[in-house]
Structures are given as structure tokens and as C-alpha cells.
Amino acid sequence: MSHSFRLLFVASLALAATAAFAAPANKPLSTSQQRMSDCSKQASGKKGDERKAFMSACLKGSSAAPAKMTPQEKMKKCNAEAGKQSLKGDARKTFMSTCLKG
């Protein structure tokens, strides 16, 4: 994960936490504060890299999670697909290689 992404994420969390304690109860949230709150609610149940990727996409205004999958997610998806197709031996190796590349 890139260093700049981590800084952006930590800064966003710090901004949201600071704003939550500093803002009077009757003052409405700013647009960015509201977005952080909404994205955080939508990300409930997600953990680790999945949550970070979702929050990044959400805070940028993307309507869906990013299309890029982690290597672990790719491996899981490809293994499941190879299992559905009952692939074995060289056919499975070829399929997995192609699947993991893209």
C-alpha cells in the first residue's frame, strides 16, 4: 500500500474525529464531514485492506468499490472458478495462470 494513501486515510480519520469533537451539536456537518460519516457507515463490516480501499473510493466520490482486487481476492476467485469447472492438472495450471494475470 502506498505511503501517500496511508497518509490520506489517516488524515481523513483525524479530520473526522477532530470535527466530531470540535463542532457544536447544532452546527451541520460540512460536505466532506458528511461524506466521511456516510462512507464510514457504508463500510461497516469491512476490515483491513478491503475497508481502506472502499473508504478511499467512497471519499473520492466513486459509487462503487474499486475494481482492482487484492492478490488474495484474485486467488480465491480463481480457485473457486477452477473448482466449479472441475479443472485438474495442466488444465488447472493454465486456467489459474490466465485468471491471475487478469
d(CA 3, CA 80): 32
d(CA 8, CA 56): 9
pLDDT at position 86: 93
pTM of the model as a whole: 0.37
Judge whether 65 lies within some domain: no
- 76 shares its domain with 50: no
- 7 shares its domain with 45: yes
pLDDT at position 65: 47
Judge whether 64 lies within some domain: no
Residues in the chain where the model's pLDDT stays below 50: 23, 64-66
- 55 shares its domain with 75: no
pLDDT tens, residue by residue, 67-87:
567 888 889 999 999 999 999
- 22 shares its domain with 42: yes
Q: Which long-range contacts (CB under 8 A, 24 or more apart) does 88-96 make?
A: none
d(CA 11, CA 20): 14
Judge whether 41 lies within some domain: yes
pLDDT at position 94: 92
- 45 shares its domain with 81: no
32's CB contacts (< 8 A; 6+ apart) are: 15
Total domains, the chain: 2
pLDDT at position 16: 63
Judge whether 66 lies within some domain: no
What range does the domain containing 82 cover? 71-101
pLDDT at position 57: 84
